[in-house]
A and B are shown apart, each in its own frame.
Chain A
Amino acid sequence: MSVVPRLHPTRETEAAPPSAEVIAHPQARVAARLLAERKELHPMLVRARAVAAHVLPTLGMVITLLLVWQMLCGSPESRLPSPLTVWEQSNDVILHPFKGVTIDALGLHIQESGDVGIAGHVLNSLGRVAIGYSIAAVLGVLLGTLIGQSVIAYRALDPLFQVLRTVPPLAWLPISLAVFQEARPSTVFLIAITAIWPIILNTAAGVQNIPPSYRNVARVLALTPIEYFFKIMLPATVPMMFTGLRIGVGMSWLAIVAAEMVQGGTGIGFFIWDSYNSSLLTDTIVALIWIGLVGFSLDRIVGWIGRRVARQA
């Protein structure tokens, strides 16, 4: 059976029953077709069509882009490697991402040095993001709630936040290194300081925008401050809070790559820097795709959690 959806069935396939009347009126053919009983499609087929309608445009675009890229960069003197060159030269990186990564009863182990696959680097980076982002999420939600709820706190802190949030992640690095002395805590700090602003500001906006009617309900029901926090404020703020958390996770992923490029050692940022220094541009391209896909997944995961929480709350 053909899987290609036919959104516009042709006339030949669903011809109207021929009769004298039908031919007499030009619109009758159309009318007869509309009046004819529709064929029930198998539910699986309906589903397959729906999925295909979603996936096919993306798939088509990716293939087209790859083809255009191949045509533009296919010649040997091209400075940018073509997709086929990437496949040939970075074959090992693409096909063995988990080199140096082992899982046993004690958990995940990533080889400290030597030849580590790209997934190992990504996992190293994700570990740092997890710590830095968790700090940013907890502090961000607390500070956002504070400035959303208290006018005085808002006036005191909001201007500071507005100024600080415009500082690019890498500009924090010298200070971070000077204070923490070591690479690991300063990268975590860098991620936290990058991700925290959208979380604070969106949470605050969410708290400020709680409809007055919900506050009135809380007052009439004489909810205690703790009950108000969990039963009204938190659920009412969840959508905005998760908007902030989603932007934050994206920004922390941006920051980690930049930070690791400077600091070196391990991680996907380091991997890119290393491949550039070794003139392995094809490896860089593979790394870019990994970064993009991981960033996309992080965004989707946080978005999914947000929807789950909004439903549960």
Chain B
Amino acid sequence: MKKRSYVALEDIGITFPTAHGPFTALKNVNLSIEKGEFVALIGHSGCGKSTLLNIVAGLTKATRGVVFVDNEVVDRPGVDRAVIFQDHSLLPWLTVEENVRLAVDKTTPGKSRGERRDWVMHNLELVHMTHAAAKRPQELSGGMKQRVGIARAIAMNPRVLLMDEPFGALDALTRASLQDAVMAIQAQLKNTVVMITHDVDEAVLLADRVVMMTNGPAATIGEDLRIDLPRPRNRIELTEVPEFNHARHAILHFLHERYSNPQEKAA
């Protein structure tokens, strides 16, 4: 038997019962991710990429197939698979520090109060948010909230970091600075990351591999593109690197010619 990858999705499928009979959203999804790899999942909206991420997180149960993380079967959500939500999902009644603290308390049993506090502050420092530790989420801008969301997730020291369109709700300038922050953190921590996005540039800039999904129903993985660009990557310099443009072109071709937006086709 072959050795299983660090994160392994084996024959994942999900079928929902609907009023018009069963609807198969995902079918035969197989994906292997090595430790420390940064994988971007890209596809049109409605292709089931968020569902796939939720299955890895354990928030949604697949109707067939298995997800393994470090050879353990995923059957429920757990602190080993931290999620960064698109809407950041910070709790508004807690301060920034307390929001991160909630996650730290659940993931560092046996540590003293002081040690946990230091760990919280260390992670806030990674996202440059120590200055806002005592603030509440509603006092922060969208980009700052998502920084805290990132801090909360990485503070959990997860085996896999799952990002569900983390920058989708942000303006282009804020998005760029958060992408840079994520790259800087990734260079340091070498997390295993699965990120959902529908931004081609973002996928190529951040990921080691871009996994492209076909359109639903019964969506699956259409193509798996390795991005062999040297790190650290710089968004301005990359525009002149042929490999970067090559990768962009391949993804755009996949998304707009082979599997164009189903909603546009319908219209």
Interface residues of A, Cβ cutoff 8 Å to B: 213-214, 216-217, 219-223, 231-232, 235-236, 238, 310-311, 313
Question: Contact at B59–A216, with CB atoms within 8 Å?
Answer: yes
Question: Contact at A221–B87, with CB atoms within 8 Å?
Answer: no
Which residues of chain B have C-beta atoms less than 8 A from A222's C-beta?
Answer: 76-79, 106
Question: Contact at A221–B93, with CB atoms within 8 Å?
Answer: no
Question: Contact at A219–B87, with CB atoms within 8 Å?
Answer: no
Which residues of chain B have C-beta atoms less than 8 A from A231's C-beta?
Answer: 91, 102
Given contacts A214-B89, A216-B85, contact A223 B106 (CB under 8 A): yes
Which residues of chain A have C-beta atoms less than 8 A from B78's C-beta?
Answer: 220, 222
Question: Contact at A220–B91, with CB atoms within 8 Å?
Answer: no
A223-B106, A231-B91 known, 6 other contacts, Cβ within 8 Å: A213-B85, A216-B89, A219-B58, A220-B77, A221-B103, A221-B106
Q: Does B183 contact A (CB under 8 A)?
A: no
A–B pairs, 25, beta carbons within 8 Å: A213-B85, A213-B87, A213-B89, A214-B89, A216-B59, A216-B77, A216-B85, A217-B85, A217-B89, A219-B58, A219-B77, A220-B77, A220-B81, A220-B82, A221-B102, A221-B103, A221-B156, A222-B76, A222-B78, A222-B79, A231-B91, A235-B91, A238-B93, A310-B93, A313-B93
Q: Does B83 contact A (CB under 8 A)?
A: yes
Question: Contact at A220–B79, with CB atoms within 8 Å?
Answer: yes
B72 shortest CB reach to chain A, Å: 14
Q: How far is the CA of A311 from the CA of B91 in the complex (A)?
A: 12
Which one of A213, A214, A217 has the greatest number of beta carbons of chain B within 10 Å?
A: A217
Name the residue on B nearest A213 (C-beta). Answer: B89
Q: How far is the CA of A268 from the CA of B106 in the complex (A)?
A: 53
Name the residue on A nearest B149 (C-beta). Answer: A217
Question: Contact at A220–B83, with CB atoms within 8 Å?
Answer: yes
List 9 A-B pairs, minimum CB-CB distance, nearest first: A213-B89, A219-B77, A235-B93, A221-B106, A220-B83, A220-B77, A217-B89, A313-B93, A222-B79
Q: Does B196 contact A (CB under 8 A)?
A: no
Question: Contact at B93–A216, with CB atoms within 8 Å?
Answer: no
Name the residue on A nearest B94 (C-beta). Answer: A235
Which residues of chain B have C-beta atoms less than 8 A from A221's C-beta?
Answer: 79, 102-103, 106, 156
Chain A proximity mask over B100-141: 1 for CB below 8 Å, otherwise 0 = 001100100000000000000000000000000000000000
Which one of A217, A220, A236, A310 has the greatest number of beta carbons of chain B within 10 Å?
A: A220
B residues 54-69 touching A (CB-CB < 8 Å): 57-59
Name the residue on A nearest B99 (C-beta). Answer: A217
Which residues of chain A have C-beta atoms less than 8 A from B102's C-beta?
Answer: 221, 231
Question: Contact at A232–B57, with CB atoms within 8 Å?
Answer: no
Q: How far is the CA of A236 from the CA of B91 in the complex (A)?
A: 9
